[in-house]
Structure 1
C-alpha cells in the first residue's frame, strides 16, 4: 500500500475579511466547498463502499449521473470478513478511485451500531458490536487516507434508525452511550484520525447532533484528540450559528450564502466569538490546501484489478450458516460438484441485488450475476425465476412461477434457491416493518425442499431475516449484498474454489419480538428510548439465555479447526495478551476468525455475560497449526463510571474465553487485572457500605457502630434467623444514620467525618 499522504499544510487566513471567513464554513454547491482567494474548492462525494461521484446538479440519489466506479461489498458483508487487512486494502482502493476523480473526501465509513434489525440502513453498517465496528472502521480509514484522500467517519452519533431521522431524539443513558454507541467512533478517531467526522441528523438526549457541543467539542476533540473537521450530514444543520458554536465546521450542501450571512451577523452583534469562526474556517482551509498539495493517483483506473479485489472481498464475506447432509445422505450438500445437474431458482440469481438503496448507490464498472457464473462451472444448469421482484404480482403469475420452479427442482440432482429482500423493503430513509422474507418466497422454499430435499438457500439481504425454514433446509448461505463481483464470488464458494470463512457480526433471532429493542425501536412523539441499555445484540440474548437461530460470530467452513488451551497474561503496559494454538484439522485450506470474549463474574456493575474484546483472522493450510496472539487493550476492559464520569477498569479475575463464535467457545482461562484507583467523594447520600469501604471513614464508622452495639444486638434479636443486619443497613445513607443512633450521632459529626475522609483523598 502506497502512502501518498502529504505533510500538514496550513492556510493563511490573516488577510481574509469576516465575510470571506464565513463563506468557508458552508458549501458552494451540493458536493463542493467554496474557493476563497488562494484557498481552492474541493469535492466531497458519497461512499462508503464505492465512489459515487455525480455531475454538478445531480439529484443526490440518482445513479445515472454517477461516474462508473467499483462497487465493493457494502459494510453488511465486509463486516462478516472480520479482516482488518482486507478492509484496509479496500479502503486503499476507494482512495485510489477518489484520487483519480479529484475527490478530496469520500463519505464513509459508516460504523453505527445495528441496534435493531429493522433499521433500513443496516446494510451500510458493520456490526452490532463496537469493537468490530471500530477495528474494521479504522482499517478502512487508514486505507482511504493512505492515498491522500480524506475519510468521513459517520454518522456521529446514536443514529440507529431511518424513520424520523431528521429530528427524533435518541435518548440514551450515559453508560450505553459511551460503551456501545460511541466506543467504535472513539476507536477510529484515536487509531486512524479521519480527516473528517460527519455529524448525524438526529438529536441526542434532546440536543441536535449538529448543535451538541458536548459531543462535537468536549468528547470528540477534548477527550479523543480529533484533529480534523466536522462536516454536517447533508441538511443536518438546524441553527448554523449554534452549530458553529458547538464545533460543526462545515455545513453541507451549499445554500446560496444564506447561513454565511447569519454567521457574519452573529459575529458583528457579539453573539458569536470571531475566534470560533476562525477555528472552523482554518480547518476547512487546511483541508482544501492540503488536498491541493497532495499528488493525485494517475489514471486510468485498473478496472480488472479492482474487480478482482471486490470478488475476493465478496467471497471472504459470505457466511455459511448451515451445511448438513440432506435426508438419507451421508455427505454434506456443499460444496457442489460441477458434474451434478443443478436447478437454479430465484430471480436474484439472474438479477443480483448487490447494494442497498439510497445515497450509497454505486454505478458499477461491471456486474457479475450468479447464474452466469454457475453456468461457467457446471454443464447441466436449469433456471427458473421462481418469483417476481415486482411489488404487485397476481396470484396467477405467482402460481405459474412456482410451477416452473418445482418442475426444474424435481428433475435436478441439487437445487440452489436464491432468495432475499427486494430493494423496496430496505433503504435509506425508512425502516423495515418486519424481518420476514416475502411470503411468496417462503412458500416457494417450502415447496422446493418438499420436492427435492437436496436444496441450498442463498440469501441476498442488507439486514437479517427470519429463517423459519432453517430446520428443513440442509444448507443455508448468507450472501448479504456483495457488491459488483458477488455473483462470481458466490459461485466460487458454492463449488468450493473458496472455503467460506465469513462470520456473523450480528445475531439472527428466531423472531423480531426476541430482539433487544423490540419494544422501544422507532419511538414516539419525537423520542426514541434506548431502554435495552447496554444489552444490544448478543449481549441481550446471552443475558436472557435466549435461543437464537444463529449466534453472533457464527460461520461454518468446508474444513474444521481445533483450538488448544488458551493462556492470558497482562503486558507491561496493562493490555492482556491472549495466546492460543489453532489447527486446521481438515483437508482443505481455510481461514478462521479467532474471537476473544471477556467477563468479570464478580463485577460491582451491570455487565453482559461476555463481551467481544479482540479478534484475528488467520489463514491456515490443511493440517497447519499456528499460535495466534490476540491483544485485548486495557482500555477495552473499562466501563463508563457514571459517578466519576470517566472510564474505569475494575480490578479482578477476568474470564477470557476464546472460540469460533459467541456460543462456540473452545477454551477459557482467567487473568488477574489490576483495577484503576477510584475514590469518590463521600456525601450524606453515600451508603453505609460505601463509607465502610473507605480507608479513612471506614474505621471511624466501625468504631461508632461499636458504641451502638447494644441497640444493634437488640434489633438483631427480633430478626428471623439468617437475616443479615449488615446487608439491611448497607444501603442506608450515612446522612440518616442518626435516626438509628438514638442521638449518639449528630449531623455535625457526620459532616466532620465526610470532610475528614474527603480531605484524605486530596
Structure 2
C-alpha cells in the first residue's frame, strides 16, 4: 500500500468582451539552419509512444523559443491573467496542498510541476524533504496502457453508440477500478473533445464520443464521474480544437512527406471564432469540468495562432476563469514548447519533463527556476501550479493507506504484475458490445426470410464465417506491444478490437467471431465453415465457403491510429472486394464492420444479396462474443450511429484535414457552428446513406404526441459548478446555467407482435430530441438536446423524459460574452434518428 506522504510528514473574474480571433495565423520565418542542429537521439522508452526521437539541443530550443514568442497572437497573459486557484470543490485538498507548497523551496515547487518518466508513462515530481511522493499518470482512454493483465474496454465511440448513460458510467467506473488497482493516481482519460470528430478522417476519432457535442458531453460527464468514484483522478483531454493528427506538433513526426526537416514546420493552427468555440468545442469539456474532472490536458496544436499549452486566452480565460476549473492543466507528452510562455499563460504541469532522452525538450526544471529567479515568471504563478496539481490529489486520496503501489513497468512489460480484471468486467465489455451494435440494413420481412435474425440454430444447416477480421491475429494481439500499431499491417492481422496509439490497451485475451461461433455451434446443429483471406489476391476457397453455406457472414474492418489521419473512408485489407465476392456466391450475406467512425458503403450496400449489415465499431477484447446473440435473435440490436454515414467523402466538410506543404499550416474552421456532421449535411443539402442516430431493431415502435411543460428545477448535477455567464432576461429566474427550464415527455410503444420475424424478446428504442431555434437565431442549426433509451416488451409502452436546461436552449452571445435564450418559438422534434422524426411540439419565450 502507498502513502501520499512519508510517515514523518506533519501538515499543519469575469471574462472580458474580447472574442477569439477569426483571423488566420501569420507566417513566421523559420531559420533554415534549424535542421543542422538536429542529431539522432536514442529512442529509449519513446517506443511506447510511437514517435521518432529527435533530441532538442539548447541552441534549437533557444531559437524555437524566439520564434514562438513571435507567434503569441492571442496568448497575452496581461489580457488573460492566470487566476489563482481557491480549490473549488476540493476544499480539504486545497488547504492541505497550500500548506505544503508554502513550505517548499523554489526548486521543490518547480520539481512538483516538472514531470518525469519511469515505471509509469509520467510522474509528478517528488519532494522527499516533506515526504511528498510522486503521482503516477497513466494512459489511456480504454484502460491502463501499456500494461499487462488488464481489460481492453470498448472504445469511446463504441460506448457512445449504446446511447445509454448507465453504460457510460459503468465503463468509467470499471476502468477507474482497474487504474487504481494498478497503482495509478491519474488516468489520462477520457477524451472529452479532442478530437470531437470535425473530420471523419481524424486518426483519433474513435477515442472520443463522436461529433455531436451534446452526446459527447453526456458521455464525458458520466465517464468522469465513474472514473473518479474510488479516488482516481481523471484527466480530460485534449483541450482544445485538436481535430487532426497531421502536423499536430512542432516535431513533424506525423508529417506524411519529407519537405521540411524535423522541427522546422510549426504545428497545425486551428483558427475558429468565439461562438464556435463555446457552442461546439468547449461544450464537452464544460460537462467534464462540471463532473469534477481533476485535471485537463492541453493539446499539441495551436489555437488562433497561439500554442494550446501556452495560450492565455484558452487556458486562463476560458478554462480557468469562465469554466472555473480549479485543477491542473497538464501538457500532452511533448506539448510544452517553452518556459516563458507556458506557465504565465496557464500551463501547470509539463510532461514528460526531460524524459525520453530529451526528445521533447527540457522544459520546467532548471529553465523554469532561472525564469523565476530573474523575475520573468512570478513565484506565485509557479506555486499556484503546484497547488493546482496537489489539490485534487489530496482531496481524492487524502492520506490513503490503502492506495495500491504501482505494480507495472511500461519500460519492460515482462516485469511481473498483478491481475486486476474481474468477471464483471468481461460481462460489461460484452454488454457494451451487444448494445452498441448498430443494424444499418436488414431485408427481413414477411416476404423475405433472409437477413436477421437468423433462423433457429437447430434448423440452420451451415454458416460461413469469412474475412480477415473474423479470426484470431496469427501473431496474437497481446504480442503486438506496446500498441496495436506495432503489428505489421495491423488491419491484416485478424479481428480488430481497438485502434492504435494512446487509444489502444493491451488485451488479456481477444475473442474473435470465428471462435465465438464455434463455441455457439457446439450446442446447435449447424456447421461452421471458414476462410480468413487477407485481401483479394486469391479468393478461391473464400468463394467456395460462401457458396456451400446457407448463410455467409463477412467480417471486415478499418484501421486507424494516433499519429495518422485516414486517407479515405474505405475498408482496410480490400474489405469491399471480400464483401462483393461473398455476395456473388451467397444470397444471404451478412456484413459485420469493425471501424472507428464513418465509412463509405456505396460500393456494395445495395447488392441484393447483402441482406443485413451490423456496425460493431471497436468493441474491445470480447467483441466476438457480442455478435452471435444479435445474429440468432437472443437479443435485439439497439445501437444507434453516433455519427453520419455519407454517400461520398465530398459529402463531409471539405478540407477537414489540412496537409498543405507549408511551414505554417492553418486549418480554418470556417463552417463555424455547423460543425462537420449532421448539421453540415443539412446545411449542404446532402442526403446521407445513414443518418446520425440511425439504427434498426427487430421490433417496431410508435411515438405519442410530444408534451412540453415549463417546469423549473434547480441544478443538482453540477459536482463542480462552472462560472459560465448567462442572461436572465427570459425564462424562469434560475441560479445555474444548468437549471431545468422545460420538461418534455413522449410515450413510446413496442408495436411488434409477440413473435416478430422470429424474435420475441424485449427491444430498445432510443428516443432522440432535436431543438430548432426561433427566427432571431435561425442561423443556429437544429441540434440534439436529449435522448433516452427505453427497453420494451411486445405491446409495452413507457414514457421517455427530456430535461432541457437553460444552456440546452441558449446560444452564445459574442458581444455580451454570455449564454442567452432566444425570443420566440422553439420547435422540438422527437424520433428514432435525426432524419426519422415522429412527433413535434413548440414553446415560446
The TM-score range, normalised by the shorter chain, is: 0.7 to 0.9
The SS at the match of 2:370 is helix
Verify the 8 A CA contact 1:582 1:628 in the aligned structure 2: yes
CA distance in 1, matches of 2:319, 2:546: 56
Cα gap change, 1:297 to 1:489, in 2 (>3 Å): farther
Q: Deviations over 1:14-66 (max 9, x none)?
A: 221111111111113242111102221110100111111x5xxxxxxxxxxx2
Residue 285 (structure 1) aligned to one of 390, 402, 410: 390
CA distance in 1, matches of 2:661, 2:743: 45
Verify the 8 A CA contact 2:244 2:657 in the aligned structure 1: no
Structure number with the higher helix fraction is: 1
Partner of 2:589: 455
Cα gap change, 1:296 to 1:322, in 2 (>3 Å): farther
The answer as to 2:350 corresponding to 1:177 is: no
| 1:55-204 correspondence runs (5 A) | 66-112=147-193, 113-166=196-249, 167-190=267-290, 192-204=291-303
CA distance in 2, matches of 1:441, 1:28: 43
CA distance in 1, matches of 2:633, 2:573: 31
RMSD (Å), alpha carbons: 2.1
TM-score w.r.t. length of structure 2: 0.73
CA distance in 2, matches of 1:459, 1:567: 38
| Shift in Å, 1:359 | 2.0
Number of residue pairs aligned between Structure 1 and Structure 2: 643
CA distance in 2, matches of 1:493, 1:331: 15
| Shift in Å, 1:225 | 1.6
Partner of 1:309: 428
Moved more, 152-161 or 31-40: 31-40
Verify the 8 A CA contact 1:520 1:531 in the aligned structure 2: no
Residue 533 (structure 1) aligned to one of 667, 672, 684: 672
CA distance in 1, matches of 2:365, 2:654: 41
Partner of 2:41: none
| Shift in Å, 1:206 | 0.7
Partner of 1:374: 517
Cα gap change, 1:212 to 1:376, in 2 (>3 Å): same
CA distance in 2, matches of 1:563, 1:603: 30
| Shift in Å, 1:94 | 0.9
Partner of 1:564: 704
| 1:344-743 correspondence runs (5 A) | 344-350=465-471, 351-378=494-521, 379-388=525-534, 398-400=536-538, 402-421=539-558, 423=559, 426-438=560-572, 440-468=574-602, 469-472=604-607, 473-518=610-655, 521-522=658-659, 525=662, 526-536=665-675, 537-572=677-712, 574=732, 575-586=741-752, 587=754, 588-608=761-781, 610-673=782-845
Q: Deviations over 1:183-215 (max 9, x none)?
A: 11112212x010011101100011111011111
| Shift in Å, 1:524 | 5.9
Partner of 2:364: 259
Moved more, 632-641 or 78-87: 632-641
The SS at the match of 1:618 is strand
Q: Deviations over 1:207-244 (max 9, x none)?
A: 11101111112111211121211111111001123111
| Shift in Å, 1:556 | 0.8
Verify the 8 A CA contact 2:353 2:364 in the aligned structure 1: no
In the alignment, structure 2 segments of 5+ residues that lack a partner are 1-88, 250-266, 356-361, 405-417, 472-493, 714-731, 733-740, 755-760
Q: Deviations over 1:95-125 (max 9, x none)?
A: 1111111100111111221111110111111
Residue 336 (structure 2) aligned to one of 195, 217, 237: 237
The SS at the match of 2:159 is helix
Q: Deviations over 1:571-616 (max 9, x none)?
A: 23542211000112223302221110010251345122x2101111
Cα gap change, 1:487 to 1:519, in 2 (>3 Å): closer
Partner of 2:474: none
CA distance in 2, matches of 1:605, 1:83: 30
Residue 33 (structure 1) aligned to one of 93, 116, 124: 124
Verify the 8 A CA contact 1:321 1:476 in the aligned structure 2: yes
Residue 309 (structure 2) aligned to one of 210, 234, 238: 210
Cα gap change, 1:171 to 1:594, in 2 (>3 Å): same
| Shift in Å, 1:382 | 3.6
| Shift in Å, 1:493 | 1.6
Partner of 1:690: none
CA distance in 2, matches of 1:367, 1:355: 11
CA distance in 2, matches of 1:16, 1:295: 24
In the alignment, structure 1 segments of 5+ residues that lack a partner are 55-65, 390-397, 674-762
CA distance in 2, matches of 1:159, 1:666: 36
Cα gap change, 1:556 to 1:439, in 2 (>3 Å): same
CA distance in 1, matches of 2:445, 2:707: 39
Verify the 8 A CA contact 2:451 2:590 in the aligned structure 1: no
CA distance in 2, matches of 1:381, 1:79: 35
Cα gap change, 1:629 to 1:102, in 2 (>3 Å): same
CA distance in 2, matches of 1:222, 1:258: 25
The SS at the match of 2:786 is strand
Residue 440 (structure 2) aligned to one of 318, 321, 343: 321
Partner of 1:743: none
Verify the 8 A CA contact 1:68 1:362 in the aligned structure 2: no
Q: Deviations over 1:117-168 (max 9, x none)?
A: 1101111111111101111111000001001101111111001111111111
Moved more, 505-514 or 375-384: 375-384
| Shift in Å, 1:273 | 1.3
| Shift in Å, 1:481 | 0.8
TM-score w.r.t. length of structure 1: 0.81
The answer as to 2:92 corresponding to 1:8 is: yes
Q: Deviations over 1:234-267 (max 9, x none)?
A: 1100112311111111111131675221221111
Cα gap change, 1:135 to 1:296, in 2 (>3 Å): farther
The SS at the match of 1:534 is helix
CA distance in 1, matches of 2:822, 2:646: 32
Q: Deviations over 1:276-330 (max 9, x none)?
A: 1111111223344444624647886343221111111111111111111399734
Rg (Cα) greater in structure: 1
CA distance in 1, matches of 2:656, 2:380: 46
Moved more, 503-512 or 103-112: 103-112
The SS at the match of 2:795 is coil
Cα gap change, 1:642 to 1:477, in 2 (>3 Å): same
| Shift in Å, 1:456 | 0.5
Cα gap change, 1:281 to 1:336, in 2 (>3 Å): farther
Verify the 8 A CA contact 1:585 1:622 in the aligned structure 2: yes
